[in-house]
């Protein structure tokens, strides 16, 4: 079997048909399976899956009782039978030629990882393109580490994934960043298809777009700590010091700071961010990637640090 597409499903009835239609379109004439994994949905998601399964036997319906996208992805990877795995979110979609292009590239280059481009689509109709990191560019591993990508942005050789025992960190949000940037440390067999093969819809109500306080916002701290430990275990913290420093700056002093400042409960998060930067990267102000950014962004980073 060539590929296993893994789709976590939790109360996804609003977008699920769009996702399944796109994946089925991309899987025509492909020897593969579509592992849809219900994570305790209370809406009509499972009924939709059953209707699609009646029409196409590539669709398999599994159930994972452990809550969270990380647990579901781990469960899917464990049960996958394809030579390659690709994680797809139920509220997104893929291009019609995506599976063919990615698997052909993987086989041609004998790649463990194939990165793809992503088109981000906003509710107002706006779009922007997240380009793939390509191995032909200078210092591509540096960009891969600091990219902050999601699991949807790479096709993965399953045997390589299993051999290294990769797993997503369960019980947290931001669980993908804990693992993804470290993958490049374990292979030289890297390829890319720099085309918009994945459509990432910015949906209100998703776990990263909440409008009310969620204690899981503080998950960023154990996640970054665990990510840093991955690089320590690989003896790569010196090699990628500047990249990791920038990753911490972006996720603590820009991204998470914006969430913390929205809510009274987030005040403790701003303090914790400052303490974490002091512990891991006390000289962060000299970071070479930060210096390349516009003045307004650099000022915002400093203000968030001293908030």
Look at residue 207 and tell me if it is in a domain. no
Q: Cα(180)–Cα(227) distance, rounded to whole angstroms?
A: 9
One domain, residues 193 and 297: no
Range with the lowest mean pLDDT among 15-29, 147-161, 176-190, 210-224? Answer: 210-224
Q: What pTM was estimated for this model as a whole?
A: 0.94
Look at residue 10 and tell me if it is in a domain. yes
**pLDDT single digits (tens) 45-70:** 999 999 999 999 999 999 999 999 99
End of a domain among 201, 229, 247? 201
Query: Where do we find the tokens 């969270």?
Result: 68
Domain that holds residue 285: 215-306
- The answer to whether residue 209 scores a pLDDT higher than 70 is no
3-state DSSP assignment of residue 169: coil
Helices and strands per DSSP (H, E), number in the chain: 13, 9
One domain, residues 91 and 46: yes
**In the predicted model, what is the mean pLDDT of the chain?**
95
Cα pseudo-dihedral 224, 247, 9, 190, rounded to 10: -110
One domain, residues 191 and 229: no
Domain count, the chain: 2
| Confidence band for 288, pLDDT divided at 50, 70 and 90 | very high
One domain, residues 87 and 182: yes
**pLDDT single digits (tens) 229-280:** 999 999 999 999 999 999 999 999 999 999 999 999 999 999 999 999 999 9
Q: Cα(230)–Cα(222) distance, rounded to whole angstroms?
A: 12
| Confidence band for 212, pLDDT divided at 50, 70 and 90 | confident
Look at residue 32 and tell me if it is in a domain. yes
| Confidence band for 205, pLDDT divided at 50, 70 and 90 | low
Q: Which residues, at least 6 apart from 1, have a Cβ–Cβ distance to it below 8 Å?
A: 31, 32, 33, 81, 82, 83
End of a domain among 175, 201, 227? 201
Give the residue-averaged pLDDT of 31-42: 98
Q: Which of 233, 218, 219, 221 is nearest to 276 (CA)?
A: 221
Look at residue 208 and tell me if it is in a domain. no
End of a domain among 177, 201, 225? 201
One domain, residues 152 and 283: no
One domain, residues 275 and 184: no
One domain, residues 159 and 224: no
One domain, residues 114 and 222: no
Neighbours of 171 (CB within 10 A): 13
One domain, residues 48 and 159: yes
pLDDT score for 239: 98
Contact 277, 284 (CB under 8 A): yes
One domain, residues 39 and 181: yes
Contact 109, 158 (CB under 8 A): no
CA angle, 265 then 268 then 273, to 5°: 130
One domain, residues 69 and 176: yes
Cα pseudo-dihedral 181, 182, 186, 187, rounded to 10: 10
One domain, residues 249 and 196: no
Look at residue 262 and tell me if it is in a domain. yes
Look at residue 206 and tell me if it is in a domain. no
Q: Cα(204)–Cα(273) distance, rounded to whole angstroms?
A: 26
Query: Where do we find the tokens 């469960």?
Result: 75
């Amino acid at each position: 079997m060539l590929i296993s597409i893994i789709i976590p499903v939790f109360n996804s009835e609003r977008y699920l048909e769009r996702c399944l239609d796109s994946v089925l379109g991309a899987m025509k004439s492909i020897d593969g399976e579509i592992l849809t994994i219900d994570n305790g949905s209370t809406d009509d998601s499972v009924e939709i899956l059953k209707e699609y399964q009646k029409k196409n036997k590539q669709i398999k319906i599994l159930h994972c009782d452990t809550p969270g996208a990380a647990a579901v992805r781990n469960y899917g990877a464990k049960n996958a039978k394809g030579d390659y795995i690709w994680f797809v979110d139920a509220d997104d979609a893929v291009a019609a030629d995506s599976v063919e292009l990615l698997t052909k590239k993987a086989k041609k280059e004998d790649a463990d990882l194939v990165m793809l481009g992503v088109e981000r689509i906003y509710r107002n109709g706006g779009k922007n393109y997240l380009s793939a990191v390509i191995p032909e560019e200078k210092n591509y591993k540096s960009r891969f580490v600091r990219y902050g990508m999601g699991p949807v942005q790479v096709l993965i050789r399953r045997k390589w994934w299993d051999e290294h025992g990769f797993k997503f960190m369960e019980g947290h949000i931001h669980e993908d960043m804990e693992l993804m940037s470290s993958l490049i440390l374990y292979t030289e067999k890297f390829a890319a298809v720099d085309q918009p093969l994945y459509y990432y819809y910015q949906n209100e109500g998703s776990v990263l777009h909440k409008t009310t306080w969620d204690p899981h916002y503080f998950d960023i701290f154990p996640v970054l700590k665990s990510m840093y430990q991955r690089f320590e275990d690989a003896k790569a913290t010196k090699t990628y010091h500047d990249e990791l420093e920038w990753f911490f700056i972006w996720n603590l002093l820009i991204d998470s700071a914006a969430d913390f400042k929205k809510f009274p409960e987030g005040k403790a998060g701003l303090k914790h961010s400052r303490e974490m930067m002091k512990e891991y990267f006390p000289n962060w102000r000299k970071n070479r990637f930060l210096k390349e950014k516009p003045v307004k962004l650099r000022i915002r980073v400093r203000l968030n640090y001293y908030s």
